[in-house]
């Protein structure tokens, strides 16, 4: 368990919890602990879905600018890869991942939220990529994931101006998927994640792989990825359980084993 980031597990749901007062600024230490938590969530069989959460007040207000201010070009050449790959480690968790966004999700915090499969936000949350106001650009996936999520024109507007995106606009443009009162965002995210605790784990994993990898390539290659994953699931015990249950009892009654 990390000092500033920890994985908490209950009822099949793993929560990657950022806890660096006051604003969950993402330092090198936080980045590496995020990476470690993502690896643990990936490896643990008792984690069937993941919530990324910064607490009741703030998700993450950005990278640690004080730490970065003294870095040279050579320093950042060394750090930029690990910076980006720590967030990608969350995106590559082969299980459903939901970001529970309260308060601010700015800069690196927004990029961390973008790495989730879906985003639930407080109705007073604020998101954005204000890096240009510091004379830099998003460096942990923001230029790529944001444009894929909301489209290039909207992403360019947000990134070029560095402006804040408030919750209602974020919902309207697809930057977040659901809004809730701040006090219930985490509970709603956990409830969404908990539904996968009894799901066919390898089918869900395959579906995520197909969507994510398919978006990285052309349609024909994406269809081939889907075909291979579809056929591979016929080697799983859950496929046998699911189809037998459907034939004998109708839909929605299968009790999966996760193998």
Please give the pLDDT value at position 252: 86
Q: What is the percent of the chain with per-residue pLDDT over 70, rounded to a whole number?
A: 100
Question: What pLDDT, on the 0 to 100 scale, is given for residue 201?
Answer: 95
The Cα 123–Cα 22 span in angstroms is 21
pLDDT digits (tens, 9 = 90+) for 24-69: 999 999 999 999 999 999 999 999 999 999 999 999 998 888 888 8
| Residue 229 and residue 211 in contact, taking contact as beta carbons nearer than 8 Å | no
Q: What is the pLDDT of residue 121?
A: 98
Over residues 225-249, the mean pLDDT reads: 95
Give pTM, 2 decimals. 0.95
pLDDT recorded at residue 180: 98
Q: What percent of the chain has pLDDT over 90?
A: 89
Confidence at residue 75, expressed as pLDDT on a 0 to 100 scale: 87
Q: In the chain, where are the structural domains located?
A: 5-197, 200-249
**pLDDT class of 18 with cuts at 50, 70, 90:** very high
Tell me the Cα Rg of the chain. 19
Q: What pLDDT does 131 receive? A: 96
Output the pLDDT for position 119.
98
What pLDDT digit, counting tens, does each position of 182-204 carry? 999 999 999 999 999 999 999 99
Place of tokens 């956990």: 190
Quote the pLDDT of residue 58: 97
The pLDDT tens digits for 116-172 are 999 999 999 999 999 999 999 999 999 999 999 999 999 999 999 999 999 999 999
pLDDT average, residue stretch 224-234: 96
C-alpha separations of 75 from 67, 80, 251 in Å: 11, 9, 56
Mean pLDDT computed over every residue of the chain: 95
Query: CB-based burial of residue 42 (10 Å sphere; 0-12 exposed, 13-18 middle, 19+ buried)?
Result: middle
Give 13's strand partners: 10, 49
Asked if residue 1 has pLDDT above 80, the reply is no
- CA dist list (Å): 21 to 24, 26, 32, 36, 58: 6, 11, 17, 20, 10
- For residue 67, what pLDDT is reported? 86
- Considering the four listed CATH numbers 3.90.226.10, 3.30.70.260, 2.60.40.1220, 3.40.50.720, the one that applies to the domain covering 5-197 is 3.90.226.10
200-249 under CATH 1.20.120.1760, yes or no: no
Burial profile 182-215: b = 16 or more Cβ within 10 angstroms, e = fewer:
beebbebbbebbbebbebbbbbbbbbbbbeeebe
Q: Evaluate if residue 232 carries a pLDDT over 90.
A: yes
């Amino acid at each position: 368990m990390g000092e500033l980031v920890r994985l908490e597990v209950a009822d099949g749901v793993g929560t990657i919890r950022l806890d660096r007062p006051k604003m969950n600024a993402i330092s090198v230490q936080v980045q590496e602990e995020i990476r470690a938590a993502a690896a643990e969530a990936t490896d643990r069989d008792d984690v069937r879905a993941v919530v990324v959460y910064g607490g009741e007040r703030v998700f993450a207000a950005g990278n640690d600018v004080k730490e970065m201010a003294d870095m040279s070009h050579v320093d950042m050449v060394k750090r930029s890869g690990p910076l980006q790959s720590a967030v990608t480690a969350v995106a590559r968790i082969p299980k459903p991942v939901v970001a529970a966004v309260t308060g601010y999700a700015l800069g690196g915090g927004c990029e961390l939220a973008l790495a989730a499969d879906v985003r639930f936000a407080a109705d007073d949350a604020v998101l954005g990529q204000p890096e240009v106001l510091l004379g830099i650009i998003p460096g942990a996936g923001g230029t790529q994931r944001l444009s894929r999520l909301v489209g290039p024109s909207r992403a360019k507007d947000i990134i070029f101006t560095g402006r804040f995106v408030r919750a209602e606009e974020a919902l309207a443009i697809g930057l977040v998927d659901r809004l809730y009162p701040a006090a219930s965002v985490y509970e709603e995210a956990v409830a969404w994640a908990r539904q996968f605790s009894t799901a066919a784990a390898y089918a869900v994993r395959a579906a995520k792989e197909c969507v994510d990898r398919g978006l990285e390539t052309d349609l024909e290659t994406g269809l081939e990825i889907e075909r291979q994953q579809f056929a591979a699931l016929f080697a799983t015990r859950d496929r046998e359980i699911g189809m037998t249950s459907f034939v004998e009892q109708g839909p929605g009654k299968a009790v999966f084993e996760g193998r």
